[in-house]
Structures are given as C-alpha cells and as structure tokens.
Amino acid sequence: MTESAFAGRMRHEKFFSCAADKRRDDLNYRASISVERIPGRFPYATWHSPEGPRDVVVWCSNDQLGMSQHPKVVGAMVQTVLHAGAGAGGARDTCGTNRMLLDLEAEIADLHRKQAAMLFTSGYIANAAGLSAVARLVPRCLVISDEHNHHSMIEGISKSGCKKRIWRHNDLEHLEQILREERGRPALIAFESIYAISGDVAPIRQICDLARRFGAITYLNEANAVGICGAGGAGMAEREGLASRIDIIEGTLAQAYGCLGGYIAGRAVLVDALRTHAPGYAFTNALPPPLCAASLAAIRHLKESSWECERLAQNAATLRAGLIKAGLPVRPGQEHIISLAVGDIAMARAMCNALLSDFSLHLRPAGHSAAARDTAYLRILPSSHHDKTMLTALVNALAEVWRRFEPSWSYQPDAAE
C-alpha cells in the first residue's frame, strides 16, 4: 500500500472510530452480550460470560409465548428445509413466489379479517417501506404520528417525503387539534396499539372516531400485540372490536410468533398498489419457505391454543403486583410489557449488568429514542414459560438492585394522562 493510500485509510478509520466514540460519550453506544437460548429450556439461556458459560433466566425476549421453540413451529421449519431448501432463491418479481409465502399471506389476511396481506422481510421493513409507500400514494398526504412511534415508522414517514406532524403521545386533544388545523388535507394517522418501550396502550376507539370525523386513514402497528391479544391472536384492535375500523394493520412475525418477517394487511386494492410501489417488496429476496412454514404453524397454533396467552397474562399481572408491592416505580398499565423508571441510561445499564452478574437475570434498558439519556427504563418481558419461583426471584433481585443504586427518577405521567 502506498503512503497516501495508507493515510487515506487511516482517515476513514478515524471517521468510524469517532462515530463510535461519540456514541460512547453520549452513553448511546450499543453493545450486546453473547447469549444463546437453549431449545426446550426456555426461558433459560446460556450467557457466555468472561468467566465462562453460565445459565441465566431471560426477561427481555420478544418470544413471549415460547413459539420459536414450539415443536409444531420447529417441525414445520425442519420439514420445509428438507423439501424446499433454506432460501427463497430470489425476489418475488424476478423468481416467482413460493407456495408457503402465499399461504402465509392468506393466513394473515384471515387472522385480521382483511381482504389481503403482504409480507416483508421484517416488521421494520414493513413500516419503513410499506408506511412510506402508503403515504406517498395519497396526494398531499399529511402523516400524523404519535411521538412514541417505533423507529421503523419514523423512518417510513420521513422516507415518504410527506408533510408530518407529531402528536403528543396518546393525547387525543392534541390529535384533534392537528386534524382541525389541517382540515381539507388528506391525513394518515400512524400509531401503535401497545407501545414497545412503555407498554402503554393507545386509545384505539377514540382515534378511530376522530379518523372517521375527519376522514383520515388509520395505520396501526400491532407488533407488540399480534399473537398475544385478541381472539386467535389477532391483536388489540380485534380485542376491542375495532379491527374493521382500522384501514391498515402492520405486524411482525418475530415477536409472539417467534420467527421472522413483517406484514401489512388491508384492502386488496391497497395491497395491490403496495406490490408495485413499496421498494422493500421488490428489490430484495423473498422470505425463505422454511420461515414462512414456521410462521404459518405459529399463527395456526395460536389461533387454536389459548393457554400460552392466559399464562402470560397471569405472569404479567403477578409480576406487576409484586413489583408495585416492593415499591418499585412501575409504569402504570395492564399489558405484558412492564417498564420500571430508572432515568439515567448509564445507571440503567449498570443495574442490568448487576442483575446479570450477581443474580443470573438477563434484562436490558430501553428508552424512547437513542437521545433520551435521562428517561431510561428497565423493560421487562415476562413469558408464558416463567414460573412462580422465577417471578419471585426477579422481584427480590430488582428490589435489591434498587436499594444498591437508588435511581432518583420515578414514573412521570405524560401530558396526556
């Protein structure tokens, strides 16, 4: 390598190391630990600690119903690998669509009682590509977005190039005010049913009422609800009897269904338009048949089986009550995501490290945005597979860690509450 080429390379390396250092300085550097889940032993996992492998109990997995290890799901995946191979072999337009994927889309449409559904390679892509395409297809569209919407929705909205207004989290008066101010302009209201960080639930009925009054389109992200809430796992809108009033439902197959992939469900005409207009559909390989088969098995299983959701609801309620009794700052709610207010992100990380090394409990801090360093939570995801002893052990360990660290931030009601 010549001297000037070497100097150029060093300069480039500096860009990257400065970027990482900046994240370290503002305490947003991301480092994940090495954890392997153990088939058949969920929620245990092996943590590859600096001292060697150790069993830990996982409290931060999206796989809250244990579907990723369910024999029907694993069996469907293995069978399909054997007769269809590992990959899809191409993008849908260029290579054709495998039967499993079409069956999965039909199953998802049926789950949400919509005319059609369209798969993407993840929930993130479904929002980033799908939401942006929907907004772009509506002339002069104004996107009104809840301030706590997931990053994938924010990306979809900014990629759409449409005018955007952010409404204060779950604040119906503010939403109405924006709709009034923008009357006459086509609007799309984008929100989540259960918010990923806080576990807050959206006032879906009132949002649908406002949408009807002002003629707005509703786009509901059900990522944290599908598989868990509503009859057969059809989500929060279904549970509230409102699915037919939601124009577009977005979901993921990577959380309660334990697999991978994301989707948009809605009217056939919308899905047809998205097929030609959403870049995340055309210019990428299709979901592999084994993954489609596994997701199909998970959806079908949860349409029939209710014990997993019932156990999860019981465990979440028991844990929430135990944490409140122990005097910990639990964000109010009733769903299966439980958040404890810590405040300082560095302290939240240190608390998680202590829970892992001293109590063999694996959970991670979370915040609404990478920049929110003073509003960090410990986000707990109980599952249908945790038992009473594990629930008690978690409450005791958290109480001890709270005594040790004494975080000063407590739950702060949002303006809307």
Ligand X SMILES: Cc1ncc(COP(=O)(O)O)c(C=O)c1O
Which residues here bind ligand X, judged by CB under 6 A?
122-124, 127, 150, 152, 192, 196, 221, 223-224, 252, 254, 262
Q: Which is nearer to ligand X, 363 or 390 (CB)?
A: 363
Smallest distance, ligand X to C-beta of residue 123, A: 3
Question: Cα–chain-centroid distance for residue 219?
Answer: 15
Question: How far apart are alpha carbons 226 and 237 in whole angstroms?
Answer: 10
Question: How far apart are alpha carbons 135 and 150 in whole angstroms?
Answer: 17
**Contact criterion met (CB below 8 Å) for 281 and 132:** no
Q: Which is nearer to ligand X, 130 or 407 (CB)?
A: 130
Smallest distance, ligand X to C-beta of residue 252, A: 3
Smallest distance, ligand X to C-beta of residue 326, A: 27
Smallest distance, ligand X to C-beta of residue 244, A: 22
Smallest distance, ligand X to C-beta of residue 122, A: 3
Q: Which is nearer to ligand X, 84 or 126 (CB)?
A: 126
Smallest distance, ligand X to C-beta of residue 212, A: 24
Q: Which is nearer to ligand X, 262 or 329 (CB)?
A: 262
Structure-block tokens of residue 110:
């049926």
Smallest distance, ligand X to C-beta of residue 235, A: 12
Q: Which is nearer to ligand X, 123 or 329 (CB)?
A: 123
Q: Which is nearer to ligand X, 122 or 218 (CB)?
A: 122
**Contact criterion met (CB below 8 Å) for 237 and 247:** no
Residue nearest to ligand X (CB): 123
Q: Which is nearer to ligand X, 170 or 221 (CB)?
A: 221
> What's the 3-state SS for the chain?
CCHHHHHHHHHHHHHHHHHHHHHHHCCCCCCCCCEEECCCCCCEEEEEECCEEEEEEECCCCCCCCHHHCHHHHHHHHHHHHHHCCCCCCCHHHHCCCHHHHHHHHHHHHHCCCCEEEEECCHHHHHHHHHHHHHHHCCCCEEEEECCCCHHHHHHHHHHCCEEEEECCCCHHHHHHHHHHCCCCCEEEEEECECCCCCCECCHHHHHHHHHHHCCEEEEECCCCCCCCCHHHCCHHHHCCCHHHCCEEEEECCCCCCCCCEEEEECHHHHHHHHHHCHHHHCCCCCCHHHHHHHHHHHHHHHHCCHHHHHHHHHHHHHHHHHHHCCCCECCCCCCCEEEEEECHHHHHHHHHHHHHHHCEECEEECCCCCCCCCEEEEECCCCCCCHHHHHHHHHHHHHHHHHHCCCCCCCCCCCC
Q: Which is nearer to ligand X, 337 or 401 (CB)?
A: 337
Q: Which is nearer to ligand X, 196 or 330 (CB)?
A: 196
Smallest distance, ligand X to C-beta of residue 334, A: 18
Q: How many residues does the chain have?
A: 417
Smallest distance, ligand X to C-beta of residue 3, A: 45
Smallest distance, ligand X to C-beta of residue 246, A: 15
Q: Which is nearer to ligand X, 233 or 407 (CB)?
A: 233
Question: How far apart are alpha carbons 410 and 339 in whole angstroms?
Answer: 11
